[in-house]
A and B are shown apart, each in its own frame.
Chain A
């Protein structure tokens, strides 16, 4: 049997208040890494999902609807703006050069859907030409939408197989899209035929909102994929010059506001993290230095009991490591407990696309948080470890009475 009870453990247990305080401090440091990096990655993932969901290079809308702000609202906040233009514009746009794919969408607002507390945006797309939603829909359903089939955004609390009622028309939920982390997650997609049925039914119900809207004659926006051999800017300028009373936007620019704020938010998070870390490291450094100073005599006693200088500094570092490792694990767990259940709240409060990255990314981040905080904590004890190991036991213990 061995009697190598860890001196470090004994020291930690023997000074519970100090140990606990330092553990909590490292926990805060680790948690700040987890919360910070997961938030930033979630924002990036959200932006990526948004970009790929938009699918199109250029979006054409009626000039009347064309303030950029308006646009971000439509893209990011679903149901806040409605506008229509004559379908002839669609043909005019289609005639221009450099257009590989073109498709129109029609936006409708639902008053209330029975299922949902918020008004929804219903987006009608043309299955024949669509290239933005169809791939997603095909991915989810394995085929096309039939009449009265709808595909819902990820945030709606309905499930595949449920029905959802708009203007007295029961529609079948055949798929639920992946999350984008934007208000597109509360949109409902369906084909033009279904849109027609919804409009008819709303008129029968005596609602006149959509009286002038004939899905065969009007569109809300036109989505364009630019041919590879044409620069997007060139096509954009051409459209803005030659197709009057419309306004064309690069979808990238439309979400540039989002990516700008994303960069801003990431910067703030980075600064906060640095501040927490700087402060944390200084406190850890001081705490270890003070504690070692206070215990000079104790280390001198270890020396006379036969501890080498190396053993002394290892004792100091391993004590720090036990504390900081414990702290980092606890802090990482706490960070996850904040991020996982409350990510919806965080998303809401930031008003930016926010999508948790895949599990393995989170696991890697957590692992890194644990390793980095524990190592940094232990490193902050290196100086005191070095100093105490240089002590001359004889001098420390010499006459102190």
Chain B
């Protein structure tokens, strides 16, 4: 799946200092290639997450379009866009995002709890396969509160991958992890890209560049290729 952002920009109205418009992402052109890992770096507050969310179908741009192949996803209504996201887009958000009342495997299969699977057994066995691949095979029935940060992050990656989406977005997937876990997570993402998925990663990590096929940097809402 090739994803292109055409002149996407995002303005926020900041409260407090009058009605102050603030442009978080300016007229940005970007292309995410199939089977490649695309890396975006940049200072805090430069607009990386905002851009990622727009590309991932979670935040409508103020102007510009986001195309998945030939389809403009923001021309879809919420119902259709949500269904599209469920099938095609995996997102690993910034921070910890487990649903506390669900077990690890239920968290991983979350999208199937929203929309039933025909074959629960095969969904669960794929979830177990992912857990094994990510080194958390024995945590299936734990609650998220029992997991470490690295384990939770791997759980979130498995959750994003459970429907084998064409594209995966990861926002700071390694920021609170130790070196060992950082390497593990980046390897998983690289490996996923090599298997044909488009992968888009936002990261501060210097080491991340060595896994990337394309690197971009963001500065005050403006993007530049590295």
Contacts and interface: CB of A to CB of B under 8 A. Distances in A.
B191 to A, nearest CB: 22
A301 B44 CA distance: 23
B132 interface: no
Contact of B117 (A3, A307, A401): A3
A314 to B, nearest CB: 11
Interface string A216-236: 000000000000000000000
Contact of A11 (B58, B59, B101, B112): B101
Interface stretch (B35-43, B65-73, B78-86, B214-222): B78-86
A37 B126 CA distance: 56
A113 B209 CA distance: 104
B176 interface: yes
Given A2-B117, A400-B94, A301 B79 contact: no
Interface string A3-24: 1110100110111000000000
B94 A310 contact: no
B49 A304 contact: no
A298 interface: yes
Contacts of A203: none
B13 interface: no
A395 B93 CA distance: 11
B147 interface: no
B149 to A, nearest CB: 10
B116 interface: yes
Interface residues of B, number: 48
Contacts of B175: 401
Interface in A288-319: 297-298, 300-311
Chief secondary structure at chain A's binding surface: helix
Given A3-B120, A14-B101, A397-B94, A302 B50 contact: no
Contacts of B118: 1-2
A307 B114 CA distance: 7
Contacts of A307: 82, 86, 114
Nearest to A7: B113
Interface stretch (B1-9, B102-110, B178-186, B193-201): B102-110
A394 interface: yes
A302 B91 contact: no
A307 B86 CA distance: 7
Contacts of A15: 101
A307 B109 CA distance: 13
A300 B115 CA distance: 16
Contacts, number: 117
Contact of B110 (A305, A398, A401): A305
Given A10-B106, A13-B101, A392-B59, A306 B121 contact: no
A399 interface: yes
Contacts of A310: 78-79
A3 B97 contact: no
A397 B95 contact: yes
Given A309-B78, A311-B114, A397-B93, A10 B101 contact: yes
A268 B124 CA distance: 58
B101 A305 contact: no
A287 interface: no
21 contacts: A1-B119, A3-B113, A3-B116, A4-B113, A4-B115, A10-B102, A298-B100, A301-B98, A303-B58, A304-B91, A306-B87, A307-B82, A307-B86, A308-B81, A308-B83, A392-B58, A392-B59, A397-B97, A398-B49, A401-B172, A401-B176
Interface of A: 1-5, 7, 10-11, 13-15, 297-298, 300-311, 392-395, 397-401
Given A1-B120, A398-B94, 5 more contacts: A2-B120, A13-B101, A305-B86, A306-B82, A394-B58
